[in-house]
Amino acid sequence: MTKPTPTEIGEAYDSSADLLDQLWGENLHHGYWDDTSADASFEDATNRLTDKLADMLPIKPGDRLLDIGCGVGGPAIRLAEVHDIEVVGVSISGGQVRRANDRAAAAGLADRLSFQLGDAMDLPFPDESFDLVWALESLHHMPDRWHVIRQAARILRPGGTMAIGDFLLRPVDGADAENVALVRNGVLKIVELDEYQANIRAAGLVPAASLDVSDQTRPSWSKAAEVFEASRELAEKHIGAEQFNVTISNFRGLSEAPTVGYALLTARKPA
């Protein structure tokens, strides 16, 4: 299956902006559920995942953070509200950039939070210009996630840290070989943790903390199917009945695929 180009991804997000806003709100990523949050809303769960990844970062007042694949700004705004830092977000979608900047202004954060159009495959920033790089559930969209990580390593200052939330291929005893091949070679193109960390090292970064949150994020697939189904009429106007049915089927299938894992990772650039 051929991955869409960055331009195609941007156009897809632009054309479905209203739908995504209604379905997922400010956070276009998975949520985190545990035993104490089983009944949490999707918004609460997605905010919790943002917080989990942020807790793994050595954030200091005055730090400069780059959000790769910033969406409509939800995580970046949350980071800027909680921490006294400057955040720059980049997205391949012009519509997302406009919405994110509007939300930053409405939150009174435009003085230290900004969003711009940019391709993560060719980040428009000088070497060693950020203390932190953030990529929450955006790297699987990239034509080459390892190239993006190399770009992140380039713009990180010595001693800086990259935070990643991404899907991983989870080893499962007795997993169906066809299912594994579909997950590895499908749209997500996911790999095992060892391969991920090897490519992080090849980019010049040192793997640091890692947290397997596969079980805590798995409910996101079925809950996304529920949200989508509840908005069938609106969704079909945007993507058509056939694509709607494919999307629902994919969500439900992924919710039952034990090989689809999810990890939060950090990597440090040597000082």
Which band of pLDDT confidence, cut at 50, 70 and 90, is reported for residue 1?
Answer: very low
Q: Are strands 86-91 and 64-68 parallel, antiparallel or unpaired?
A: parallel
The CATH superfamily label for domain 6-266 reads Vaccinia Virus protein VP39 (3.40.50.150)
Question: Which H or E run contains 157?
Answer: strand 156-169
Structure token pair of residue 181: 């091949």
Q: What DSSP designation does 271 have?
A: -
Structure token pair of residue 62: 């005055």
Q: Name, in order, each residue with C-beta under 8 angstroms of 96's C-beta and a sequence gap of 6 or more.
A: 13, 14, 17, 70, 71, 72, 73, 115
Q: Are strands 130-136 and 156-169 parallel, antiparallel or unpaired?
A: parallel
Q: What is the pLDDT of residues 202-259, one digit of tens each?
A: 999 999 999 999 999 998 888 888 888 888 887 787 778 888 888 888 888 788 778 8
Which band of pLDDT confidence, cut at 50, 70 and 90, is reported for residue 24?
Answer: low
Chain center to CA of 106: 23
Q: Give pairs for 228-231: CB < 8 Å, separation 24+.
A: 228/23, 231/19, 231/22, 231/23
Question: Do residues 236 and 244 make contact, with C-beta atoms less than 8 angstroms apart?
Answer: yes
Least confident of 35-39, 129-133, 222-226, 235-239: 35-39
Q: Are strands 64-68 and 130-136 parallel, antiparallel or unpaired?
A: parallel
Which band of pLDDT confidence, cut at 50, 70 and 90, is reported for residue 264?
Answer: very high
Q: Helix (H, G, I), strand (E, B), or coil: what is residue 136? A: strand
